[in-house]
Amino acid sequence: MILILIFFFILGSAIGSFLNVVIDRTIRRETLLGRSYCDHCHATLKTVDLVPIFSFVGLGGRCRVCKKPVSWQYPIVEAIAGILFVISFLVLSAAGNLAIASLLFNFFLVSILIIVAVVDIKFSLIPTSFIYLASLLALIYNFIFLNQGVFIQNVGTAFLAALVFGLIVLATRGKGMGTGDITLAFLMGLVLGFGQMVLAVFLAFFSGALVSVFLIILGKKHFGQTIPFAPFLVLGFFIGLFWGKQILQWYLMVY
């Protein structure tokens, strides 16, 4: 089992390395083809520079050529992707649903939502094209693998979530959240279903409020200023996806 977990962590961190390329080049409108390069000196990176996590640690977080600092984004994204791949495997294995299709679908969702969260953190922008692609794949996956009742419920949840978020955008005139959050809410509803979607949104607003208060206390933000909301929706999504059913069962037992 340990070797399997190590394998999925390595796989996830390798995918995370590619996700870093997608994140940076998508915003710069650059092709994904071609060799990776240093953001500072534009020197072409060699294999020794591209080993996920280990290259960053081994080179002291600096470019091998110009010695300027390398963004912490790279090892963090690689590590998070590796951890989420491992969690995906463990959760599906524990649920007895360790099919290739389910595992690949989870890996795909993890990859897309990491891109969405990081782009929103860096640029206050949600790359909706990735969400459209994920929504289309989720719709196809649900149609094939879910029974008709659950499929209809998830589609209904997706439209309801998009409607609620759309009303929030209209009510706040886009100041509370952006239209990209509407598409992300649609994807979340499509994948999670009603109960887990409600849990994910609650956790997103709760964690977002906590971070906002913390930033205000530190003087990093002031009342009225906004922070990227997609990372909190993504956090809520992952909790709902991996542990939502258990959390809801526990809540119903307690109350």
* 171 and 50 co-located in one domain: no
Last residue of some domain: 69, 98, 127?
A: 98
pTM to 2 decimals?
0.92
- Cα 233 from Cα 188, distance rounded (Å): 9
- Comparing CA positions, the residue from 72, 100, 58, 80 lying closest to residue 12 is 80
* 19 and 112 co-located in one domain: no
The pLDDT, as a whole number, for residue 40 is 78
Last residue of some domain: 98, 114, 133?
A: 98
State how many domains the chain has: 2
* 106 and 125 co-located in one domain: yes
Give the pLDDT means over successive 10-residue stretches in the chain (255 positions): 94 94 81 75 79 88 85 94 97 89 96 96 91 97 94 96 93 79 96 96 94 83 78 96 91 73
Alpha helices, DSSP H, located in the chain:
2-28, 54-58, 73-94, 100-123, 128-145, 148-171, 179-192, 194-217, 230-254
Residues 133 and 186: beta-carbon distance below 8 Å: no
Domain that holds residue 195: 100-255
* 71 and 122 co-located in one domain: no
- SS3 (DSSP) at 47: helix
* 173 and 252 co-located in one domain: yes
Residues 115 and 127: beta-carbon distance below 8 Å: yes
How many residues belong to the chain? 255
The pLDDT, as a whole number, for residue 149 is 93
| Tokens, residue 2 | 């340990």
* 68 and 177 co-located in one domain: no
Last residue of some domain: 68, 98, 128?
A: 98
| Tokens, residue 74 | 């790279």
* 164 and 204 co-located in one domain: yes
* 29 and 109 co-located in one domain: no
* 106 and 68 co-located in one domain: no
* 119 and 83 co-located in one domain: no
* 133 and 230 co-located in one domain: yes
* 157 and 223 co-located in one domain: yes
> Nearest 5°: phi and psi at 75?
-70, -30
> Nearest 5°: phi and psi at 152?
-65, -40
